[in-house]
């Protein structure tokens, strides 16, 4: 069972905080300790035309300073399943973060929330080309609002590529 679903279904921990967050957090998107469960890694999101993108990576961010660091990989599949592009991404700043609250899971404090992270996207098929994007990371631990979906979305700025629907995968925030 996926971590977020298990935590919610079991009612583990109480929500310790919500609202305006402060302090550094680690984020995991389809990577790290999340990958022990089937379907958790990588995170997958879909564009309106049926294209999908697989995202895996991690990093840190600070809502107070709006700084973010981190990196990962992506694979862009066309609707027919063929690979259009693949490469790496780097977190370069935080746009916003809304906490859904924290819980203690297996002795570790974890947090749900919605983070919008500025990323630079480096497709291997186009050496020297960098695209700007917004990586949305949504973790439904805590008191997630109605309509929140676990996973990621990726909007590649100034292109037609807007992967705006979460399909599968796990995310998590870990407060420092």
Q: Is pLDDT at 44 greater than 50 in this prediction?
A: yes
Are the C-beta atoms of 78 and 65 separated by less than 8 Å? no
The pLDDT tens digits for 52-78 are 999 999 999 999 999 999 999 999 999
Whole-number Å distance between alpha carbons of 137 and 68: 13
Handedness of CA 80, 161, 75, 168 (dihedral sign): negative
Does the pLDDT at position 154 exceed 90?
Answer: yes
Of 11-15, 30-34, 95-99, the range with the lowest mean pLDDT is 11-15
What pLDDT score does 21 carry? 57
Contact 29, 35 (CB under 8 A): no
Q: Which pTM value belongs to this model?
A: 0.88
Residue 6 DSSP one-character state = H
- What is the average per-residue pLDDT within 117-129? 96
β-strand partners of 87: 74, 123
| pLDDT value at residue 46 | 98
């Amino acid at each position: 069972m996926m971590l977020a679903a298990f935590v919610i279904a079991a009612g583990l921990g109480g929500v310790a905080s919500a609202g305006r967050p402060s302090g550094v957090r680690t984020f995991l998107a389809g990577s790290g300790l999340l990958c022990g469960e089937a379907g958790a890694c990588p995170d997958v999101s879909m564009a309106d035309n049926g294209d999908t993108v697989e995202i895996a990576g991690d990093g840190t961010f600070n809502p107070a300073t709006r700084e973010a660091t981190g990196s990962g990989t992506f694979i862009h599949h066309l609707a027919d399943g063929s690979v259009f592009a693949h490469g790496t991404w780097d977190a370069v700043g935080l746009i916003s973060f809304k906490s859904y609250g924290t819980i203690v899971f297996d002795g570790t404090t974890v947090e749900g929330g919605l983070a919008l992270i500025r990323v630079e996207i480096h497709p291997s098929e186009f050496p020297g080309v960098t695209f700007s994007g917004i990586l949305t990371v949504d973790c439904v631990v805590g008191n997630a609002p109605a309509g929140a979906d676990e996973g990621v979305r990726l909007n590649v700025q100034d292109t037609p590529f807007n992967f705006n629907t979460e399909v599968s995968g796990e995310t998590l925030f870990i407060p420092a």
